[in-house]
Amino acid sequence: MSALEIETSSEAKERPAASRTPRGLGIAGLLLPIALAALWEFLVGAGLANGRLMPPPSVVGKTLWRLAVSGDLLTHATATLWRVAAGFGLGAAVGTVLGALTGALPVARGLLDPTLQALRSIPSIAWVPLFILWFGIFEASKVALIAVGVFFPVYLGVAAAILSIDRKIIEVGRVFRLSRFAMVRRVLLPAILPAWIVALRSGLGLGFMFVVAAEIMGASEGLGYLLVDGQQLGRPDTIIAAIIAFAVLGKLADGLLIAITRPFLAWQDLGRDKL
């Protein structure tokens, strides 16, 4: 959490000042990458290093700009984002439902969990040939691969969260004679919400990992295609531009997820910034 985020949260005024990240430290994190970039720029500019395989920041910046102006960057980024969104939606939905089932019902846990745990130990990329045979070489196989990648962290997170709900708080629900449905809606769901969001975030991270894999294996557009394209044309600046685009998109998507879910977690009693 950055200093700014803590500042804006509502409880900031009640926290001791020492618990906040000092403002200077957020900037300190930028010093190293900027210094390295400046050094590389200088070395290449002064002719002390060859910038062909590792282009200096100015060249990468120019490539990014060219891609942005031509509209290619938007096309590729949109294609990638669409795949991640579809795969994430699918994987997160199935993972949540199955995680809730195995977490809540011992029968479902006995039946499903061993199989799912076994499937989990398969490296997800291993599915690619099969998925291509099953779903063709176009979008469906890519979305399926991403969905598989997103599924497991979400499934594990939700199942574990349900198993770790405090018995004491469920008893309060029993004392108030909640129906099964009301118990789920009023006690279980809110109780697992923080863990669910963490699971979604790690799922989203894996979604971006798998979209690269899927696009490298064969695509005509997308940031992953841009990577392969850069390799085949011998354009490292294109590759680095695509990597930067991935970093920005991943961070933005994660930030969006945090921003959307933050209002639902305002109740949390977190003292972790202090540690």
Partner 1 sequence: MLSFDSLSKTYADGTHALSAITTKVAPGEILALVGGSGCGKTTLLRLVAGLDQPSAGKIALNGDVILEPRADVGVIFQEPRLFPWLSVAENVAFGLSHLSAFEREGLVTNALVRVGLAGYEKRWPRELSGGQQQRVAIARALITRPKLLLMDEPFSALDATTRASLHGHLLSLWEESRPTVVMVTHDVEEAVTLADRIIVMQPRPGRIFDELDNPLARPRDRLSPTFEAAKREVLRSLDRSLRDEEPQQSKAAETAGMWW
46 makes contact with partner 1 (CB under 8 A): no
CB of 107 to partner 1, least distance (A): 21
Cβ neighbours of residue 25 closer than 8 Å, sequence gap 6 or more: 3
Q: In sequence order, what DSSP letters do the residues of 130-195 get, joined into one string?
A: HHHHHH-SSHHHHHHHHHHHHHHHHHHHHHHHHHTS-HHHHHHHHHTT--HHHHIIIIIHHHHHHH
Can you tell me which of 1, 28, 169, 259 binds partner 1, judged by CB under 8 A? 169
CB of 190 to partner 1, least distance (A): 4
Contacts of 242-250 with CB under 8 Å at 24 or more apart are: 242/76, 244/60, 244/64, 245/64, 245/73, 245/76, 245/77, 246/80, 246/208, 246/212, 249/77, 249/80, 249/81, 249/208, 249/223, 250/205, 250/208
Nearer to partner 1, 60 or 199 (CB): 199
Stretch that binds partner 1, among 32-40, 110-118, 122-130, 265-273 (CB under 8 A): 265-273
Can you tell me which of 176, 248, 256, 274 binds partner 1, judged by CB under 8 A? 176
Cβ neighbours of residue 129 closer than 8 Å, sequence gap 6 or more: none
Nearer to partner 1, 29 or 263 (CB): 263
Can you tell me which of 69, 107, 175, 275 binds partner 1, judged by CB under 8 A? 175
275 makes contact with partner 1 (CB under 8 A): no
* Alpha carbons 77 and 226: distance in angstroms, whole number: 10
- State both tokens at 221: 């557009």
CB of 218 to partner 1, least distance (A): 45
Binding mask 180-219 for partner 1 (x = CB under 8 A): --x---xx--xx-x--------------------------
Can you tell me which of 8, 13, 14, 181 binds partner 1, judged by CB under 8 A? 14
* Alpha carbons 256 and 67: distance in angstroms, whole number: 24
Can you tell me which of 121, 126, 168, 263 binds partner 1, judged by CB under 8 A? 168
Interacting residues with partner 1 (CB under 8 A): 11, 14, 168-169, 171-172, 174-177, 182, 186-187, 190-191, 193, 266-269
